[in-house]
């Protein structure tokens, strides 16, 4: 009898295990099924092209011709090509101007919009965000007209303000980057919104306690707001760094009219021209990987440095 009970018990246990395994397997299967569209997309449209471009970077591939293996020739040329150095210089020069602006301006705007003394917050929020949803190409054409050296609205205003010879923003090597920063400022709405959301998530008790302790608005911003939204700042910083390495649409549209301006030849535009205008696909592939490596290193530096300045209230 005891043996029978034991046998029945083992049998039930086995069945349970089998059913459990089946359920796990089923869950796993459904998991893979639900993941598969993304996985297939990733494999076909990201991983395979990346692997192919790595291979092509060691070939002399050009459109319509079969690729021939050339070893490290494209990579050697990359380090000899003065255009590559210049386009990197242009990209970093612009990044040095744009990066602080892309973080500080939305931070400032978010702080203003978070102020309890500001009336019409919703209207301002919508107004600041609105340019972000305008297609980039349309926006750039509008800016081109606004910044035109002869008849642009900005220079007309500057002339009215007494500046007799205002800069030709888009054609001047000195002023093209400030002009691009102006264009870039139009799109800070998204960063502003994430920072505003971060600020609104800071518990009010912290501010109340700090106020009781005698902290002024600046002190509260410095010691409460900034640390509390530092993860959001990090998020925006990483996106901006990657975005700057991929900066393309604005210089590409502008370079149709300002092509000789060497300050519009960003590294990504150099890559595009080599690949799709000059059909040096092998060399362009090497440039793409070079750019990927630089972007990766910069992102890792930012992430590494974040240990020192990002505060996670709920731990990492």
Partner 1 sequence: MLGALPGAAQERVKITWFVGLGTGTNEQQIEVQNRIVEEFNASQDKIELVINIAASNQTAPDILSTLIASGDAPDIVGPVGFSGSNAFAGQWLDLAPLIEATGYDLGQFPENLVESYRSLDGEQLLGLPFAVFPGVLYYNVGLFDEAGLNYPPTEAGVPYVMPDGTEVPWDYNTVVEIGKILTVDANGYDATMPEFDPTKTIQFGFIHQWDTLRSDFHTFGANYVVDEEGKVHIWDNWREAARWLWEAVWVHHIHPSDSWISSDLLLGNAFNSGNVAMARSMLWYTCCLADAPAWDLAVQPAYNGTIYAPIDMDTFRIHKDTKHPEEAFTVLTYLLGDAALDLLTVYGGYPARPELQDAAIQAKAETYPSVQNWDVVARSIQYAPVPHHEEWYPNFNKGQTRFQDFLTLLRSDGGADIDLEAELDRLEADLQAIVDEVQ
Query: Whose Cβ is closer to partner 1: residue 37's or residue 66's?
Result: 66
Is 212 a binding residue for partner 1 by CB under 8 A? The answer is: no
Q: Which is nearer to partner 1, 110 or 170 (CB)?
A: 170
Site for partner 1 in 139-178 (CB under 8 A): 144-145, 148-152, 165, 167-168, 170-173
**Given 276, 309, 311, 312, the residue binding partner 1 (CB under 8 A):** 276
Which part of the chain contacts partner 1 (CB under 8 A), choosing from 85-93, 254-262, 289-297, 307-315?
254-262
CB 263 within 8 A of CB 251: no
How far is 247 from 42, CA to CA, in rounded Å? 23
d(CA 162, CA 152): 16
- If one asks whether residue 268 binds partner 1 (CB under 8 A), the answer comes out as no
Give one DSSP letter per residue of 187-239, joined into a string: TTHHHHHHHHHHHHTS-HHHHHHHHHTT--HHHHIIIIIHHHHHHHHHHHHHH
Q: Does 258 bind partner 1 (CB under 8 A)?
A: yes
Contact 143, 232 (CB under 8 A): no
In angstroms, what is the minimal distance from the CB of 307 to partner 1?
43
> Judged by CB, which is closer to partner 1: 177, or 280?
280
Contact 23, 255 (CB under 8 A): no
CB-CB contact of 231 with 148 (8 Å): no
Q: Which of 98, 184, 273, 291 binds partner 1 (CB under 8 A)?
A: 273
Question: What is the Cα gyration radius of the chain?
Answer: 28
* Least distance (Å) between residue 75 CB and partner 1: 15
Which token pair is 265?
């030849």
Q: How far is the CB of 260 from partner 1 (least distance, A)?
A: 3
Rounded distance, CA 65 to CA 52, Å? 16
Contact characters 35-74, partner 1, x per CB under 8 A: ----------------------------xxx---------
Write the secondary structure of 26-93 as one string of H (helix), E (strand) and C (coil).
HHHHHHHHHHHHHHHHHHHHHHHHHHHHHHHCCECCECCECCCECCCHHHHHHHHCHHHHHHHHHHHH
- Least gap, CB of 31 to partner 1 (angstroms): 34
- Residues 171-210: x where in contact with partner 1 by CB under 8 A, - otherwise, as a string: xxx-------------------------------------
Q: Interface residues for partner 1 in 278-297 (CB under 8 A)? A: 278-281
Report in angstroms how near the CB of residue 276 gets to partner 1 at its nearest: 5
| Residues 257/260/266/271 CA torsion (nearest 10 deg) | 90
Per-residue binding string, partner 1, 76-105, x by CB under 8 A, is ------------------------------
Nearest CB to partner 1, comparing residues 189 and 275:
275
- The residues of the shown chain that bind partner 1, judged by CB under 8 A, are 63-65, 144-145, 148-152, 165, 167-168, 170-173, 256-261, 273, 276-281
């Amino acid at each position: 009898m005891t043996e029978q009970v034991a046998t029945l018990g083992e049998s039930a246990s086995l069945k349970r295990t089998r059913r459990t395994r089946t359920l796990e397997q089923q869950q796993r299967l459904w998991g893979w099924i639900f993941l598969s569209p993304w996985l297939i997309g990733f494999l076909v449209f990201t991983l395979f092209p990346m692997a192919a471009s790595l291979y092509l970077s060691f070939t002399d591939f050009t459109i319509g011709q079969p690729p021939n293996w050339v070893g490290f020739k494209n990579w050697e040329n990359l380090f000899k090509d003065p255009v590559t150095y210049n386009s990197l210089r242009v990209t970093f020069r612009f990044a040095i101007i744009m990066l602080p602006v892309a973080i500080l301006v939305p931070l400032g705007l978010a702080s203003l919009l978070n102020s309890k003394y500001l009336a019409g917050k919703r209207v301002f929020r919508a107004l600041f965000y609105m340019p972000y949803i305008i297609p980039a190409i349309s926006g750039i054409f509008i800016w081109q007209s606004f910044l035109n050296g002869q008849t642009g609205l900005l220079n007309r205003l500057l002339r009215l303000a007494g500046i007799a010879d205002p800069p030709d923003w888009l054609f001047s090597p000195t002023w093209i980057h400030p002009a691009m920063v102006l264009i870039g400022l139009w799109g800070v709405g998204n960063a502003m919104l994430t920072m505003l959301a971060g600020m609104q998530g800071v518990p009010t008790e912290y501010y109340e306690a700090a106020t009781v302790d005698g902290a002024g608005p600046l002190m509260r911003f410095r010691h409460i707001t900034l640390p509390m939204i530092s993860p959001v700042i990090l998020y925006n910083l990483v996106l901006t760094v990657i975005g700057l390495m991929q900066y393309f649409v604005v210089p590409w549209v502008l370079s149709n009219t300002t092509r000789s301006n060497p300050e519009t030849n960003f590294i990504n535009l150099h890559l595009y021209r080599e690949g799709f205008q000059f059909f040096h696909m092998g060399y362009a592939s090497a440039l793409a990987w070079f750019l990927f490596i630089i972007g990766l290193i910069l992102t890792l530096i930012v992430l590494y440095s974040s240990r020192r300045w990002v505060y996670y209230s709920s731990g990492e």
